Structure 1
């Protein structure tokens, strides 16, 4: 499980991205890169990390499900993910 502070920091970044999205788009269209640099760093979408919704793990996250590989496997084996089953051939 990731530290609560790391998860909270990522949530704060998501909020900033949402807040400044329109302004960033406007400045990019105008080509005003100097004004774009003056916006908060965390308002850039590339600084947001995809994290597991259950554990907060930042690596090995399947974006389609929002789960890290360990939780995905566990839930799939328990039959809690609809349409997912173990492959066998």
Structure 2
């Protein structure tokens, strides 16, 4: 089980990302546009840099829905590998086949 403080930190990052998503997207669009002047692009770049660092979507991690584990997550299920395996062995996931080697 992951530390609760790390899970809360991740939730805070998700809220910040949702809050600043539109501002970040519009400023990036204006920076990439070919019509705008160089001075406008620098202003938009400064605006983009003034946003909180944790509002960037690249700082988010997928975590296991049950344990909060940040590694070995399956996107389809939202679970980490060993929890997924335990659920398959307990026949809690329909359609999943068990493997043995």
- Bigger shift: residues 47-56 or 77-86: 77-86
TM score, norm. by length of structure 1: 0.94
Moved over 4 A (4+): none
| Structure 2 match to 1:83 | 95
Q: In the alignment, which residue of structure 2 is the partner of 1:29?
A: 29
Which residue in the other structure is 1:19 paired with?
19
1:55 is matched with which residue? 67
Deviation at 1:87, TM superposition (A): 3.9
Give 1 or 2 for the bigger CA radius of gyration. Answer: 2
Deviation per residue, 1:22-45 (Å, 9 max, x gap): 110010011122211110001001
Query: What TM-score do the two structures reach when normalised by structure 2?
Result: 0.83
Residue segments in structure 1 that go unaligned for 5+ positions in a row? none
For these two proteins, the number of residue pairs brought into alignment is 88
Q: Cα RMSD (Å) of the superposition?
A: 1.1
Q: Are 1:79 and 1:85, in contact at CA under 8 Å, matched by a contact in 2?
A: no
5+ residue gaps, structure 2? 32-43
Corresponding residue of 2:81: 69
Whole-angstrom CA distance in 2 between matches of 1:12 and 1:75: 29
Distance 1:36 1:81 in 2: 43
**Cα distance between partner residues in 2 of 1:41 and 1:82:** 41
